[in-house]
Amino acid sequence: MLTILILFLTGLCTMFASFMPNKQLPKYLGVSGIILALVTLHLRLGLGLDFPTFFTMFPLTRIVSVVALFLLLVIFLAHRKYEEDYDWSAVYSLMLFSTCGVILLFGQRNLLTLFLGIEIMSIPLYVLAASKRNQAISLEAGLKYFILGSFASAFLLFGIALVYGSTSSFVLDEIMSIQENHAGQLPAYFHVGYIFIIVSILFKMAVAPFHFWSPDVYDGSPTVVTSFMTTVVKLGSSIAMYFLLAGFFKSQFENYSKFLLPIIAFSFLLGAILGLVQNNLKRMLAYSSISHIAFVLVAIILSVAMNDQGIFMFYLMTYSIASLLVFLILDYLEQGNSIFLDQLNGLSKHQPILALALAIGILSMAGIPFTGGFIAKYRVLMGIYQLNVWIFAIGLLSSAIAIGYYLKILNRIFFHENSQENVAINNNLFVGIVSILALGTITLGIFPELILQLIHSFFVA
């Protein structure tokens, strides 16, 4: 709870810091706020307030909070400054507010917390997506996201209302026991409520066929915001899904995972095939993220079925790190708001370190051995094989297809002559952070348990 409070206060301070003459102040404030939040997690400080039916710090909550805060910290430190006089305080504070919602989702015990978390997470995002006010594409992204996102929220609320109407409870544990004890007496609209809730979370995760907003929003938003969306926000909605499946839906798990499997198969194929024809990198990565999030969804189902949180945590972590790495580099290379394939031409000639780091990120997304992505995909695929052979085959096929477009990117980086004028990058901090992320990706691929163990021993045990 204290962590959320600190983030919230930091967000407020950052917002007001824009009145100060020092333009760097919001950044320093944000960074120190995040570090303070990490310290409270490490020292296990609390407020002494307890909301057992509302919000609990599970061990899982601690781990994912650390990961999310770390990702946010990296975004704050490493993003590019567009224009010198651009006022970043609003972006920083909105990201911090959104992260509050994400962390709320990490510890939810209650459908109201779920709704609150989703809303606190999403509303700043609508603004963030439109934060390049002078560009029509950004405004369009914001508006689209807002309208569709509101629909999803309405679905969620309606679903919660239906579930409450049939069980007269918001608390996940209570609903679970009611389901187990009075399985036959629940009205049919209880299940409709179920499906509404799941669909709204699927929308937030951008799983096909609820994905239509994601390529447009990814493309239209400023790349910093996109990187925030693919990492922290994805983490939040995926964990929300995990809690729903692991707690709320446990007794009906068999049925609901069946309902999810076709969606997963569809997302696998859609993400892989539509990504092939994209020329715009941000759109391409949006499709790749649809495919990846389907993997996360499978991993969640597996984790629930096998009672092992490791599988989906590992997938989420490797995917977030790799995609953060890729988006941060794209953020530096882009001109205007979009980045196309040919802007990567010959990157390895004039920016060898960035090219290598980008390649590692892409390889990890493609799931090539010795990067974290391989281990993650391998563990998931190995699990799915026992669950459903068809999903296994489709998953394998989609990763093989998706390699096609990852290969296109690598091809541009290494084998094409440079056609653009070079973007000079002399930001040592940026290069350092990118190298750390790349090394982290490789470490995840060679010593997979190491990083989770470190987090565990620092923040949980």
Partner 1 sequence: MHLILILPLVVAIIAFFMSHKLVKEFSLAFSGAFFLLSLYVLFQYNPLNYYNFTYYNESFLAGTGGSLHLGLDSIGVLMFVLTNFVVFYVNILARNKSYTSDFYGCIFLMQFALIGVFSSLNAILFYFFWELALLPIYYIVYQWGSGKELNKAFVRFFVYTFVGSLFILTSFILFAIETKTTSFEITEMAKNSLTGPTQILYTLFLIIGFGVKIPIFPLHSWQANTYRKAPAEGTILLSGIMLKMGLFGLIRWLVPFQEESLPIIQKIILALAIFGTIYGAAIALRRNDLKLIAAFSSLSHVGLIAAGIFSYKYIGFQGAVFQMLVHGINIVGIFYIIDIIERSSGTRYLSELGGIASKAPVFSTLAFIIILGSIAVPLTNGFPGEFLLLMSVFIYQPILGAIAGITIILGAAYMLRVFQRAFMGEVSDHVSEFKPVSNADLYALGLIVVLVFLLGIYPQYVLDLTANGSQYLTNLLELKNN
The answer to whether 207 touches 293, Cβ cutoff 8 Å, is yes
| Least CB distance to partner 1 at residue 369 (A) | 4
CA distance linking residue 304 with residue 310, whole number of Å: 11
| Least CB distance to partner 1 at residue 405 (A) | 13
| Least CB distance to partner 1 at residue 412 (A) | 12
| Least CB distance to partner 1 at residue 76 (A) | 31
Task: List the one residue from 28, 51, 447, 458 that touches partner 1 (CB under 8 A).
Answer: 447
Would you count residue 86 as binding partner 1 (CB under 8 A)? no
Buried b or exposed e, range 59-87, using 16+ CB within 10 angstroms: ebbbbbbbbbbbbbbbbbbbbbeeeeeee
E strands in 217-297: none
* Binding-site string for partner 1 from residue 386 to residue 415, where x marks contact by CB under 8 A and - marks none: x---------x---x--x---x---x--xx
- Total Cβ atoms within 10 A of residue 189: 15
DSSP category for residue 51: B
* Residues near 323 by beta carbon (within 8 Å), at least 6 away in sequence: 227, 230, 231, 285, 289, 292, 361, 365
Q: DSSP 3-state helix, strand, coil percentages of the chain (rounded to 5)?
A: 80, 0, 20
Cβ-based nearer residue to partner 1, 206 or 347: 347
Nearest to 65 by CA among 30, 107, 32, 120: 107
Cβ-based nearer residue to partner 1, 29 or 347: 347
| Least CB distance to partner 1 at residue 355 (A) | 11
| Least CB distance to partner 1 at residue 403 (A) | 7
Cβ-based nearer residue to partner 1, 247 or 310: 310
Would you count residue 373 as binding partner 1 (CB under 8 A)? no
Task: List the one residue from 333, 347, 357, 368 that touches partner 1 (CB under 8 A).
Answer: 368
Would you count residue 382 as binding partner 1 (CB under 8 A)? yes
The owner of tokens 């096929």 is: 397
Let me know the angle formed at the C-alpha of 96 by 90 and 102, rounded to the nearest 5 degrees.
140
Cβ-based nearer residue to partner 1, 253 or 385: 385
R_g of the chain, CA atoms, integer Å: 21
- Part in contact with partner 1 (CB under 8 A); list of ranges 37-45, 166-174, 338-346, 363-371: 363-371
Would you count residue 353 as binding partner 1 (CB under 8 A)? no
- Total Cβ atoms within 10 A of residue 173: 14
Cβ-based nearer residue to partner 1, 230 or 348: 348
Cβ-based nearer residue to partner 1, 151 or 415: 415
| Least CB distance to partner 1 at residue 313 (A) | 11
Would you count residue 379 as binding partner 1 (CB under 8 A)? yes
Size of residue set near partner 1 by CB under 8 A: 24
Would you count residue 302 as binding partner 1 (CB under 8 A)? no
| Least CB distance to partner 1 at residue 428 (A) | 18
Would you count residue 20 as binding partner 1 (CB under 8 A)? no
Question: Which parts of 24-169 fold into alpha helices (H)?
Answer: 25-43, 59-78, 89-106, 111-129, 136-167
Cα dist from 8 to 68, 103, 136, whole Å: 15, 11, 30
CA distance linking residue 385 with residue 402, whole number of Å: 20
Task: List the one residue from 158, 310, 418, 425 that touches partner 1 (CB under 8 A).
Answer: 310
Cβ-based nearer residue to partner 1, 51 or 415: 415
CA distance linking residue 182 with residue 143, whole number of Å: 43
Q: How far is CA 15 from the centre of its chain?
A: 24
Site of interaction with partner 1 (CB under 8 A): 310, 314, 368-370, 375, 378-379, 381-382, 385-386, 396, 400, 403, 407, 411, 414-415, 446-450
